Amino acid sequence: MPEIEQQQQQIVLRIPDNALFGKYELGKLLGCGAFAKVYHARNVFTGQSVAVKVINKKKLNGTTLVSNVKREISIMRRLRHPNIVKLYEVMASKTKIYFILEFVKGGELFTRVSKGRFTEALSRKYFQQLIAAVGYCHSRGVYHRDLKPENLLVDENGNLKVSDFGLSAVTGQIQPDGLLHTLCGTPAYVAPEILTKKGYDGAKVDMWSCGVILYVLNAGFLPFNDPNLMTMYKKIYKGEFRCPKWFSPDLKRFLGRVLDTNPMTRITVNEVLNDPWFTRGGDYREISFHDEDYDKANDEQKSVMSLNAFDIISYSAGLDLSGLFESTNPIQDSERIVSSESVETIVGRVEEFARQEKLRVRKKKDWGLEMEGQNGNLVVGVEVSRLTEDLVVVEVKRTGGESVPFHNTWNKLRPRLVSDPREAVASSSSSSCSSSVQLIDC
């Protein structure tokens, strides 16, 4: 035990004072929007660079905005593809929600194309990667609905990554008529059928946006543009655009199929994959849209914390993100932690802790315990549940008594519940803020 305590103290000493949840050291601001700011950050344990998207809860006044954030988390949880920005984890404090995302070093595709149009070959490469990501999303029942160069990032190897799923939809939102009806997107990239307000196919509108992006990459400007928004919408609705003289005949033909104002005859993802313009070039490889396409080489570094965080929170296969948004109780007298110790070992350590702290112990059904202090000044329940063959989740919560601070007991008990002192340090971040929640590994 002394060696473990010494290791833990050494780890704590290395954590910068400003580290977010004791785990991420925030760096420079990368960008900001109406509801969120994005920072570069470093994992203080691994040195890995990440992007941290910070959402201010106070700005999520409407239920629609809250639903969008919940849906974004749910969607990014299910997406694992080399051309999609990866979500590592989600954390929350009383006032903010933090998305811990893959850091894409090259920045926005928009920044690159704003400096000058691309060659047709380079545009094709990015478009192929875009279609790979979009087709994968559609195969998973996800429709982005806000594809534009600002939401496409480029890594240090020149590979495209789709980001920002805040306006995305899933098949569950499709209404009985088989269409989506929420009006959203960026004006210059919206499909004409969205303007009719009669409903639309999510896959079709994504394809239209892909066509606008392809045009921008090759031309360096938008196909539909006008200072007057209504005039621009009329051009979109009628499909009025002209191709510059440097566009090849095949590219013009292909864009005509993608920017078809009739969604019924607009080219589909599967048809794109067989188009001669799309398949030209040595970088093309046949694209399929399954999880095995994702290179899991970096994703296989599984540790004790590599469990579906959303199931840990909800204790079910469903998605319960209420803990991220509700902060009505300023004092959170419950904590959860994941451990690789066996259920028997955890229970034994809790019993040993109770004896040392002179707490009475009552065993409950299954792997539950209840510890009670003298005169009932503190009653703490402990539930141990097996989540996988190697991992358990331990929930500790106050069930009675008010005179003794709950976190005094929790801070003493927590190090005994894990096998690696780093876990105790990482999980302690959720205790440093009275209403914080830490979700591990999406």
Give the integer Cα–Cα distance in Å for 42 and 51.
8
Give the integer Cα–Cα distance in Å for 297 and 173.
34
Phi, psi of 319, deg, nearest 5: -115, 115
- State the amino acid at position 305 in one-letter form: M
Give the integer Cα–Cα distance in Å for 97 and 56.
7
H/E stretch holding 59: none
How far, in whole angstroms, is CA 58 from its chain's centroid?
20
CA nearest 309: which of 331, 330, 291, 324? 324
CA nearest 229: which of 182, 197, 186, 284? 186
Q: Which of 17, 146, 275, 311 is catalytic?
A: 146
H/E stretch holding 351: helix 343-356
Please count the other Cβ atoms lying within 10 Å of the Cβ belonging to residue 431: 18
Beta-carbon contacts of 303 under 8 Å, excluding residues fewer than 6 positions away, are: none
Q: Does 275 qualify as catalytic in the annotation?
A: no
Look up tokens 């629609």; give the residue: 64
Beta-carbon contacts of 181 under 8 Å, excluding residues fewer than 6 positions away, are: 175, 197, 199, 200
The SS3 call for residue 375 is helix
Give the integer Cα–Cα distance in Å for 347 and 356.
14
Contact in structure between 94 and 56 (CB atoms under 8 Å): no
The SS3 call for residue 348 is helix
Give the integer Cα–Cα distance in Å for 244 and 252.
9
Q: Which of the residues are catalytic?
A: 146
